[in-house]
C-alpha cells in the first residue's frame, strides 16, 4: 500500500512539471481514477431573493471521492456569479480545477451540472442593477410576494447553452469524458478578477469531507445528501434546524449555526421579552394589602 502511494505521488510530481504554469494555480489535486457520475437530484426551492445556486460536485479526500451537496449561497458582492469547479483529464490524471466568483461565468469543462449550469456559461439568471433575477425556466424559486421583477422565463438561452450529457459524466477529456474546449467568452472570463469560495462554502465542503457516508466507496456513487434546502451562511435562520432534500440533520454546520442563533435572539426578542413583564411585577405588590380589607368589612356585616 505504501509503495503504491509513493508511486502515485511520483507520477503526480511528473505531471505537475508538464502542466503549463498558467494552469498550476487552478489545480490543487490530481487523481489516477475518474470521479463517479453526477447524481440526479431536484433543486431545492430558493427560499428568498438574493441567493445564488452552487451545484453539487465530487471532491476528493481520504483516497476517495466524496459528494459535496448543492446549496443556495449568498453572493460575496453585488454582480458576482459562480463558476463551478470541474475535473479535467491531463497527462493520465484527473485534475481538479476549483470554482470561483467573478463578474462572468468562466469555463467549467462543459460539465452539465443542471439548473442553469448546462455546460456553457450560466442560464439560470442575471444581475439587474443591484439585485439578481432568476430564470424560472431552470431555477426553482419561492412562491408568494417579494419576487416581482426578480423572476423571468427564457428557455432559448437554456437550449443554447446546454451540452447533452445523458450519461451524467462528471469530468472533461480522457476516456469517456466530455469533449468541450473553452469558448472565447469562457477564456475571457478566466482572465478576469476572481474571488475564492466563501468561508461558508469552504466549511460546507469540509463538513462532508468528514462524513463517511458521502464517500463513493460507501454509497456506491449514490450519496444520501445530494442538495441542501437550507442556504449556507444564512444569518436569519434558526439553529438546530438544518434541512436536507428529503432528510433532516441536526448540527451539521456547528460553527455556522453557533454564530447565527445569538444574533437572531438578540435582535428579535429583547423588547418583547422585557416590556411585558415589568408592569406585572409592580402590580403584584399591592395585592396582599387589598385582600384583608374586604374580609374585615364582610365580618362586620355578618354581625
Tens of pLDDT, residue by residue over 112-168, are 999 999 999 999 999 998 999 999 999 999 876 678 889 999 999 999 999 999 999
Q: Label residue 259 by pLDDT band (50, 70, 90).
A: very low
> How far is residue 236's CA from residue 88's CA, in Å, rounded to a whole number?
38
Residues whose CB is less than 8 angstroms from the CB of residue 193 and which lie 6 or more positions away in sequence, other chains included: 102, 103
Q: What is the reported pLDDT for 60? A: 96
The pLDDT of residue 282 is above 60:
no
The pLDDT of residue 279 is above 60:
no
By CB atoms closer than 10 A (0-12, 13-18, 19+), residue 266 is: exposed
> How far is residue 44's CA from residue 51's CA, in Å, rounded to a whole number?
12
Grid-cell match 510530481, residue found: 13
**Range list of H helices, the chain:** 2-18, 21-24, 155-160, 184-190, 199-209, 216-219, 254-268, 270-274, 277-283, 287-290, 292-302
Say how many CA atoms lie within 13 Å of 282 toward its Cβ: 5
Of 108-112, 198-202, 260-264, 294-298, give the lowest mean pLDDT range: 260-264
Ramachandran bin of 278, using left for φ above 0, alpha for ψ from -120 to 50, beta for the remaining angles: alpha
Q: Is 186 helix (H, G, I), strand (E, B) or coil?
A: helix
Mean pLDDT along residues 87-102 = 95
Cell numbers that stand for 130 in this block: 443591484
The pLDDT of residue 110 is above 50:
yes
Parallel, antiparallel, or unpaired for β 151-152 and 131-135?
parallel
Mean pLDDT along residues 181-206 = 94
Mean pLDDT along residues 11-22 = 37
Task: Write down the mean pLDDT value for the chain.
Answer: 76
DSSP-assigned states of every residue in 67-103? EE-BEEEE-SSTT-EEE--EEEEETTEEEEE--EEES
> How far is residue 294's CA from residue 113's CA, in Å, rounded to a whole number?
80
Q: What is the reported pLDDT for 195? A: 95
Q: Label residue 182 by pLDDT band (50, 70, 90).
A: very high
Residue 138 main-chain phi, psi, to 5 deg: -135, -15
Q: Is the pTM of this model over 0.75?
A: no
Residues whose CB is less than 8 angstroms from the CB of residue 105 and which lie 6 or more positions away in sequence, other chains included: 81, 82, 83, 117, 121, 122, 186, 189
DSSP one-letter code for 114: B
Q: What is the reported pLDDT for 145? A: 66
Nearest by Cα to 261 from 240, 243, 231: 240
Cell numbers that stand for 134 in this block: 432568476
The rounded percent of the chain whose pLDDT value lies above 70 is 67
Mean pLDDT along residues 76-95 = 95
Q: Label residue 28 by pLDDT band (50, 70, 90).
A: low
The pLDDT of residue 14 is above 90:
no
Exposure b/e, 21-50, CB count within 10 A at least 16 = b: eeeeebbeebbeebbbebbebebbebeebe
Amino acid at each position: 500500500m505504501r509503495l503504491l502511494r509513493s508511486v502515485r505521488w511520483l507520477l503526480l510530481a511528473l505531471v505537475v512539471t508538464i502542466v503549463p504554469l498558467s494552469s498550476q494555480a487552478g489545480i490543487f489535486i490530481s487523481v489516477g481514477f475518474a470521479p463517479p457520475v453526477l447524481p440526479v437530484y431536484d433543486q431545492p426551492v430558493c427560499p428568498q431573493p438574493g441567493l445564488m445556486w452552487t451545484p453539487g460536485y465530487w471532491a476528493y479526500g481520504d483516497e476517495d471521492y466524496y459528494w459535496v451537496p448543492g446549496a443556495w449561497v449568498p453572493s460575496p458582492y453585488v454582480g458576482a456569479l459562480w463558476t463551478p469547479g470541474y475535473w479535467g483529464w491531463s497527462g493520465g490524471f484527473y485534475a481538479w480545477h476549483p470554482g470561483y466568483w467573478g463578474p462572468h461565468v468562466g469555463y467549467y469543462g462543459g460539465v452539465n451540472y443542471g439548473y442553469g449550469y448546462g455546460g456553457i456559461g450560466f442560464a439560470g439568471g442575471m444581475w439587474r442593477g443591484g439585485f439578481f433575477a432568476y430564470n424560472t425556466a431552470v431555477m426553482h424559486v419561492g412562491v408568494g410576494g417579494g419576487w416581482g421583477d426578480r423572476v423571468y422565463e427564457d428557455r432559448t438561452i437554456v437550449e443554447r447553452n446546454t451540452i447533452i450529457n445523458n450519461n451524467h459524466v462528471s469530468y472533461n477529456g480522457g476516456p469517456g469524458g466530455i469533449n468541450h474546449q473553452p469558448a472565447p467568452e469562457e477564456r475571457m472570463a478566466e482572465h478576469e478578477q476572481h474571488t475564492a469560495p466563501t468561508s461558508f462554502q469552504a466549511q460546507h465542503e469540509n463538513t462532508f469531507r468528514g462524513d463517511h457516508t458521502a464517500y463513493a466507496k460507501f454509497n456506491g456513487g449514490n450519496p444520501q445528501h445530494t442538495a441542501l434546502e437550507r442556504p449556507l451562511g444564512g444569518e436569519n435562520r434558526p439553529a438546530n434546524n438544518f434541512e436536507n432534500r428529503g432528510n433532516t440533520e441536526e448540527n451539521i454546520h456547528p460553527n455556522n449555526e453557533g454564530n447565527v442563533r445569538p444574533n437572531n435572539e438578540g435582535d428579535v426578542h429583547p423588547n418583547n421579552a422585557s416590556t411585558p413583564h415589568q408592569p406585572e411585577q409592580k402590580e403584584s405588590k399591592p395585592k396582599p394589602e387589598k385582600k384583608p380589607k374586604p374580609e374585615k368589612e364582610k365580618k362586620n356585616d355578618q354581625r
